């Protein structure tokens, strides 16, 4: 991959150790002759990533998700350094970053293109894009949602549940997994629809192919739906209105260190320990 000449840093100052690590990585970049811009406030302003070769996020997955929309709009790849908890997106540990960041700046990295979801508001205007998920719930907590779902204008079913999660493969290890949904290989171009606490126990995750447009209708007499994108942005869907969800034409470019393995990260983060010490499997990985 080409070396980096102009890089943006997004540093979550509320994460322990992030500011200090940020200063160290900025110094490494400047030593390599890289032009640097730094920000530590959220959300990042539109245009902040324009003209950048890459963006280094230092924080947790939420910090990275806050930059996902702007990064996908500009096509700028993102390198995530974890100072949060699990870190499925910010997979690089602080000590790894300090050791390998110079190599990354010189072009020694992989580029992983992740699909995103997009939605249309009831009036047809864009609702935004999501790297992890789009979640629909009733605005008033404690109430069940009634949601009618169509896929490419064919009826799927009517759900009585706490809500619905529409997840990308990237987001399959987030809220989708907590709600009992499947883990999906990141390069699969599919949408996972997982009901949250469905009234009918046979309601399980449905996987839709990449050409599917899903329509979610709100038939409730007195229930306004809250739509959340990546836990960051919200809007409402009123009675009689519908929301459309589909795979976006935009992608998110995630930078990974050479030798990165998605399922190695999954095994480590989820504590998958089999019969072998520390979950190591034959054949490397």
Which residues have a catalytic role annotated?
61
For residue 7, the tally of other CB atoms under 10 A from its CB is 23
Q: Is there a contact between 8 and 67 (Cβ–Cβ < 8 Å)?
A: no
Rounded to the nearest angstrom, the gap between the alpha carbon of residue 223 and the centroid of all alpha carbons in its chain is: 28
SS3 96: helix
Distance, CA of 277 to CA of 86 (rounded, Å)? 21
For residue 34 the two structure tokens come to: 């890289």
DSSP for residue 270: H
Look at the block and give the residue holding tokens 């994460």.
15
Per the rule left: phi > 0, alpha: psi between -120 and 50, beta: everything else, 59 is left
Helices (H), 132-261: 175-178
Longest dimension (CA), the chain: 62
Three-state DSSP class for 148?
Answer: strand
* Separate counts of helices (H) and strands (E) for the chain: 5, 16
Sign of dihedral through CA atoms 134, 160, 182, 189? negative
Give the closest residue to 178 by CA, choosing from 190, 167, 191.
167
Give the burial class of 155: count Cβ atoms within 10 A of its Cβ; 0-12 exposed, 13-18 middle, 19 or more buried.
Answer: exposed
């Amino acid at each position: 991959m080409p070396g980096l000449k102009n890089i943006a840093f997004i540093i979550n100052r509320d994460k322990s150790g992030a500011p200090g690590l940020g200063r160290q990585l900025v110094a490494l970049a400047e030593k390599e002759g890289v032009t640097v811009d730094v920000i530590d406030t959220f959300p990042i302003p539109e245009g902040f990533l324009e003209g950048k070769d890459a963006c280094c996020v230092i924080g947790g997955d939420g910090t990275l998700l806050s930059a996902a929309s702007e990064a996908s709009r500009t096509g700028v790849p993102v390198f995530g350094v974890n100072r949060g908890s699990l870190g499925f997106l910010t997979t690089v540990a602080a000590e790894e970053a300090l050791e390998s960041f110079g190599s990354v700046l010189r072009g020694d990295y992989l580029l992983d293109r992740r699909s995103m979801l997009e939605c249309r508001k009831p009036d047809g205007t864009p609702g935004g894009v999501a790297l992890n998920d789009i979640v629909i719930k009733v605005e008033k907590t404690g109430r069940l949602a009634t949601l009618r779902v169509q896929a490419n204008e064919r009826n799927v079913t009517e759900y009585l549940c706490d809500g619905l999660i529409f997840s990308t493969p990237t987001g399959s290890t987030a809220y989708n997994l907590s709600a009992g949904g499947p883990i999906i290989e990141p390069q699969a171009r599919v949408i996972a629809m997982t009901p949250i606490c469905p009234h009918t126990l046979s309601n399980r995750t449905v996987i839709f192919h990449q050409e599917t447009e899903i329509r979610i209708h709100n038939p409730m007499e007195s229930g306004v739906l809250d739509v959340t994108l990546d836990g960051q942005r919200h809007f409402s869907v009123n009675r009689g209105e519908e929301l459309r969800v589909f795979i976006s034409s935009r992608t998110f470019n995630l930078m990974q260190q050479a030798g990165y393995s998605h399922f190695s990260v999954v095994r480590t983060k989820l504590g998958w320990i089999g019969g072998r010490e520390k979950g190591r499997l034959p054949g490397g990985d």
